[in-house]
A and B are shown apart, each in its own frame.
Chain A
Amino acid sequence: MTATRRATDALIIVAVLLAAWQILHRIAGDTALPAPIATLTYLTQMLPTERFAQNAAATAEAFSLALLLAYVFGLAIGVWMGAHRLSGAVGEPILVAIYSLPKIVLYPVVLLIFGLGISGKVVFGALHGILPVALLTMGAIRAIPPVYLRSAHTLRLTPWQVIATVLIPAALPEVFTGLRIGFTVTLLGVLLGEMFASRLGLGSMIMSDMQLAQSKDMVTVTIILFAFAAIANAILLWIEHRLHRRV
């Protein structure tokens, strides 16, 4: 009952969004915003093209490297600040302040240091992702009840056993939330970087299509990215719920 109800709800929302798109298309005209059905049929033509494959590969490469950097540095900072009380107390407000800054204004600085190639957008994407991963990891480690560690001590577990059987299972669900949010904002960072200045990548493809008035291509790429982010988030959210239920 609830499952079918949820499915109908989702269908209604999608239908409403498509209807809104159709109406905007009527108002704006075909050159500005192609119709939903035309876009979806165009999708099948665009996916196999060389141009799309090349740009998608460039974005995929930059995004995976940026995500790796964000996770490694975010987890390292989070564990350090979670375990070391003073560092956490000193550093947390600084991280929170940086988190709420418009990081886009720092992109020229990143470009001047790392250049226009792939490393610039990788670093910029990672800059977005490090903060939520670090903040949530820190919170997860601080929230581990001290009684867990005391019982581990009573059981005379070795440090490695403590890490593997107590610390990681206790912190994992919340850390995973950080990784999920890190995924989203890193993707946004890489795409923003590509939109501003890049020769390759889906973000730059959207911008050049807009400037050349190729609305069909632009909207199609936007929808592909949107769908990718939504599906990836749904999968990560599903894993996250399972992790939370386990504890």
Chain B
Amino acid sequence: MSRVGLIRLAVIAALIGALEFACQTGLINRRTIVPPSEMAVTLYKLLASGAINADIARTLGVIVVVIAFSIVLGFALGVLIHALPRVREALDPLFATYYAVPIFIFYPVLIAIFGLTIFPIVVIGVATAIVAMIIATLNGLDRVPRVLTKVARVHRLSRVSTALTLQLPAAAPYLFTGVKLSVSYGFIAVIAAEFILSPAGLGRDIADAYADFNNRRMYALILFLLIVATIVNAALHAFDMRWAERGSGGSP
């Protein structure tokens, strides 16, 4: 590992160590924060007992559905809008402001319309994640070099094989940026929706534990979600890095 990486690890370890020390010595009240070691032990017990399995399955399931839907539909819409320049020109200002307004505040309106089911959560998740994928698809298709379409014409490739063998690989890095943002946004929106108001799920679990003053359980669940989010983000980051390395190899 590089020197910078080691320092980073040391900084993180020192922060966690300081928190543990402050909690153990009573510098930080137990009713405010429980020691990190206790969070980990409680989380292990919760996972081993299987008490939160249903909520984990539900929340991660919703997140997967939201992300899959956003990526597939976002890509399709991106391709469609890219093919219609006049529509795109009209939609550009909308895309530019989309993430500048707190879309999430529509969640209560969605509950009023659809009732307190899983549906408003999926809708708010997709609404948050899909536009990043549409924008990334448009960006990617814009960056496909003109020469590639000319090559395709010279080789008399069909429309489909041009798309699959030339345009898609050329746009891939941008599409991956869209995937990364969709994953991150979908995750955040689903957890936030569950947390604010929902019939079940990990977000709801944390909110309930907070309301019951059950700090051990609350911190264990928070730790779980932070670990999952960090692993997902780290995996996407690692994939991105490998891609960047390969891209800087021989290709133009």
State yes or no: do A and B come from one complex.
Answer: yes
Could you tell me which A residues sit within 8 Å of B by CB distance?
6, 9-10, 12-13, 24, 28, 32-33, 86, 89-91, 93-94, 97, 100-109, 111-113, 180-181, 184, 187-188, 191-192, 195-196, 203, 206-207, 209-210, 213, 215, 218-219, 222, 225-226, 229-230, 233-234, 237
Q: Are B101 and A230 in contact (CB under 8 A)?
A: yes
Q: Are B90 and A9 in contact (CB under 8 A)?
A: yes
- Known A86-B4, A206-B105, A222-B105: A105·B206 in contact at CB below 8 Å: yes
B218, CB-defined interface residue at 8 Å: yes
Q: Which of chain B's residues have a CB closer than 8 A to the CB of A13?
A: 90-91, 93-94
Q: Are B195 and A196 in contact (CB under 8 A)?
A: yes
Q: Are B102 and A108 in contact (CB under 8 A)?
A: no
Q: Tell me the minimal C-beta distance from A115 to chain B in angstroms.
A: 11
Indicate which residue in B12, B101, B108, B222 contacts A108 across the interface (CB closer than 8 Å). B222
Whole-angstrom CA separation of A56 from B205 in the bound complex? 30
B197, CB-defined interface residue at 8 Å: yes
Could you tell me which B residues sit within 8 Å of A by CB distance?
4, 7-8, 11-12, 31-33, 89-91, 93-94, 96-97, 99-102, 104-106, 108-109, 111-113, 184, 187-188, 191-192, 195-197, 203, 206-207, 209-210, 215, 218-219, 221-222, 225-226, 229-230, 233-234
Q: Which of chain B's residues have a CB closer than 8 A to the CB of A105?
A: 191, 195, 203, 206, 221-222, 225-226
* Chain B residue nearest to A33 in the complex (CB): B113
Q: Which of chain B's residues have a CB closer than 8 A to the CB of A108?
A: 206-207, 209-210, 218, 222
Q: Which of chain B's residues have a CB closer than 8 A to the CB of A191?
A: 102, 104-105
* Chain B residue nearest to A189 in the complex (CB): B102
Q: Are A100 and B184 in contact (CB under 8 A)?
A: yes
- Known A94-B8, A188-B104, A226-B101: A210·B196 in contact at CB below 8 Å: no
- Known A191-B105, A192-B104, A229-B102: A102·B229 in contact at CB below 8 Å: yes
Nearest first, the 5 closest Cβ-Cβ pairs linking A and B are: A233-B100, A9-B90, A108-B210, A210-B108, A188-B102
Indicate which residue in B104, B109, B218, B233 contacts A219 across the interface (CB closer than 8 Å). B109
Whole-angstrom CA separation of A24 from B31 in the bound complex? 46
Indicate which residue in B91, B96, B113 contacts A32 across the interface (CB closer than 8 Å). B113
Secondary structure type dominating chain B contacts: helix
Q: Are A226 and B195 in contact (CB under 8 A)?
A: no
* Chain B residue nearest to A107 in the complex (CB): B195
Whole-angstrom CA separation of A205 from B109 in the bound complex? 12
B108, B188, B230 interface centre (most CB from chain A within 10 Å): B108
Q: Are B93 and A10 in contact (CB under 8 A)?
A: yes
Q: Which of chain A's residues have a CB closer than 8 A to the CB of B89?
A: 9
- Known A108-B210, A218-B112: A86·B7 in contact at CB below 8 Å: yes
Q: Are A109 and B31 in contact (CB under 8 A)?
A: no
Whole-angstrom CA separation of A97 from B11 in the bound complex? 14
Indicate which residue in A32, A97, A112, A219 contacts B32 across the interface (CB closer than 8 Å). A112
Whole-angstrom CA separation of A135 from B159 in the bound complex? 42
Whole-angstrom CA separation of A16 from B238 in the bound complex? 41
Q: Are A192 and B196 in contact (CB under 8 A)?
A: yes
Indicate which residue in B191, B195, B230 contacts A97 across the interface (CB closer than 8 Å). B230
Q: Are A97 and B104 in contact (CB under 8 A)?
A: no
Whole-angstrom CA separation of A188 from B226 in the bound complex? 20
Q: List 13 A-B contacts (CB under 8 A).
A: A33-B113, A90-B4, A93-B8, A97-B234, A100-B233, A101-B229, A105-B206, A108-B209, A196-B195, A207-B197, A222-B105, A225-B105, A233-B100
Contacts A86-B7, A102-B192, A105-B222 known; 7 new A-B pairs at CB < 8 A? A12-B90, A91-B11, A93-B8, A94-B8, A105-B203, A181-B100, A222-B108
